[in-house]
Amino acid sequence: MAYNNDRLTQNLTAQAVFGAIGLKGRLPVTASTKSRFGTGIDTRASFRIGYSVPDRVGMNQDSLREVDRIIHEIMRRKAAPGAQLLVAKDGMVVYKKDYGYHTYDRKKTVMPEHIYDLASVTKVAAATLAIMKLYDEGKVDLQAPLSKYVPELRGSNKANMRLEDVMAHRAGLLPWIPFYRETLTGRSRRPSSKYYQKNGSKDFSVYIADSMFLRSDYPDSIWHAIINSDLRTRRNYRYSDLGFYIISKLVENITGGPLDQYLIKEFYEPLGMRSTLYNPLRSFGKDQIIPSEKDGYFRYTLLQGQVHDMGAAMLNGVSGHAGLFSNTSDLVKLFQMLLNNGYYAGRQYLKEETIRRFTTRHARSTRRGVGFDMKERNRNAPCNISPYASDFTFGHYGFTGTCVWADPEHDLIYIFLSNRTYPSMKNNLMFKEDYRSKIQSAIYRSFLPLLEDSEL
């Protein structure tokens, strides 16, 4: 029973029914013999993400308008044609907006249900998540050599690498290998008919783009190229995608199935993340997927639902380093679960100590956790996120113009998704102007003064 038919009451009633907030109401009148004055049911919140307004969690609504100004500047300067933004604090979504359009032709507006290519946010929202679950169940040891779980590495220069070092980008791996370049031919560097056909078949079954199918055996060639790749002479920090290619193989070996299916079963489906998936064209129409680039160097087509990363595309769209698509509404559930110490809506997904282990910096790093990126602690190095964020903040950036950051100290989640790579990934204005950190700082400034006053 809710006594008003206004939008706020409807919103709160729905949240109470689904467990985002608790029910404590009592009937102020006797409605029937079964529904007497003073009766009611008490329920507790089930730590499901809820919705509120900034003022209720100590955030200044007017200060948050600076966020809007920055994002409108992003669009005006053509750093990206549109974006999705979500801010959650104290378990409540308090600021959620969609901005701009799919492309600069301004024909299709960005909507809440539309999904973006997450790029390297995949590393934490997919690969790291899978390893956390396997670690939780005692199936992987972060200190064990990789070859224990990936026998294919035995006899290679990667056999004795520790999983923890790989996930913290301190294993000496090369940053990346441009696999696709080996499949191009001629002066124009077009896809070779040796490797690609226009129609899918048994021998050409790897979907790369419309009317472009890769030879079925080529993913094995990629895998062997990674196994046989050289190492850097030093084991210092160097960001690398290659380790997360290997992690995908590791998960497949242990679980007996592909990475994407394991994640759907263990996390995405039970969390209700219905818009988080690899290969979205199998489930969604193109009108729901934000295009990432007009590819003029490999696929020679508009990328809309095909993963932007070339290597992931050549692995049937599924890898540990890239390939995941999602939106802010889904990602907030995942990161709220992590802030809830692994608990969400009546289910314990991960142990608290597991989350703490993966969001603790590597012993030789001032920045990287296990899989997760964190705030740079070295004052002599550039700060990679907002200086207002706590040292415990964890998350990741994505090449396509995305980021997700969770701050346990302030119980804050910040998600920004865009397609800054449209129409070309050479558009680096998002990086040059550090827009994602500027947005994050504006969010912190909306409540930090209040925190400082309360601590005096």
341: left (phi over 0), alpha (psi -120 to 50) or beta: left
pLDDT mean over 284-305: 98
Give residue 6's pLDDT band: very low, low, confident or very high (50, 70, 90): confident
Q: Evaluate whether residue 225 is within a structural domain.
A: no
pLDDT mean over 158-182: 97
Q: Evaluate whether residue 246 is within a structural domain.
A: no
Percent of the chain residues past pLDDT 70, beyond the cut: 95
| Residue 74, pLDDT score | 98
210 or 15: which leads in pLDDT: 210
- Do 31 and 97 fall into the same domain? no
| Residue 26, pLDDT score | 78
- Do 408 and 272 fall into the same domain? yes
pLDDT tens by residue, 395-415: 999 999 999 999 999 999 999
- Do 128 and 32 fall into the same domain? no
Q: Evaluate whether residue 236 is within a structural domain.
A: no
- Do 13 and 102 fall into the same domain? no
What's the mean per-residue pLDDT of the chain?
A: 94
* Residues 372, 124 contacting (CB under 8 angstroms): yes
Q: Evaluate whether residue 400 is within a structural domain.
A: yes
For residue 331, the surrounding DSSP H or E stretch is helix 328-339
pLDDT at 420 over 50: yes
pLDDT tens by residue, 97-139: 999 999 999 999 999 999 999 999 999 999 999 999 999 999 9
Give residue 12's pLDDT band: very low, low, confident or very high (50, 70, 90): confident
pLDDT mean over 428-446: 98
* Residues 241, 318 contacting (CB under 8 angstroms): no
- Do 5 and 113 fall into the same domain? no
- Do 336 and 443 fall into the same domain? yes
- Do 306 and 367 fall into the same domain? yes
| Residue 455, pLDDT score | 41
Q: Of the candidates 122, 30, 90, which has an alpha carbon nearest to the alpha carbon of residue 396? A: 122
- Do 134 and 3 fall into the same domain? no
How far apart, in whole angstroms, are the C-alpha atoms of residue 226 and residue 230? 9
- Do 132 and 1 fall into the same domain? no
Q: Evaluate whether residue 285 is within a structural domain.
A: yes
If one counts the domains in the chain, the total is 2
Burial class from Cβ neighbours inside 10 Å (0-12, 13-18, 19+) for residue 68 reads: middle
Q: Evaluate whether residue 195 is within a structural domain.
A: no
pLDDT mean over 307-324: 98
pLDDT tens by residue, 359-370: 999 999 999 999
- Do 303 and 368 fall into the same domain? yes
* Residues 206, 215 contacting (CB under 8 angstroms): yes
Give residue 450's pLDDT band: very low, low, confident or very high (50, 70, 90): low
Q: Evaluate whether residue 161 is within a structural domain.
A: no
Domain region containing 391? 65-141+258-455
Q: What is the CATH number of the domain that holds 276?
A: 3.40.710.10
| Residue 34, pLDDT score | 83
- Do 5 and 103 fall into the same domain? no
- Do 33 and 78 fall into the same domain? no
Q: Evaluate whether residue 172 is within a structural domain.
A: no
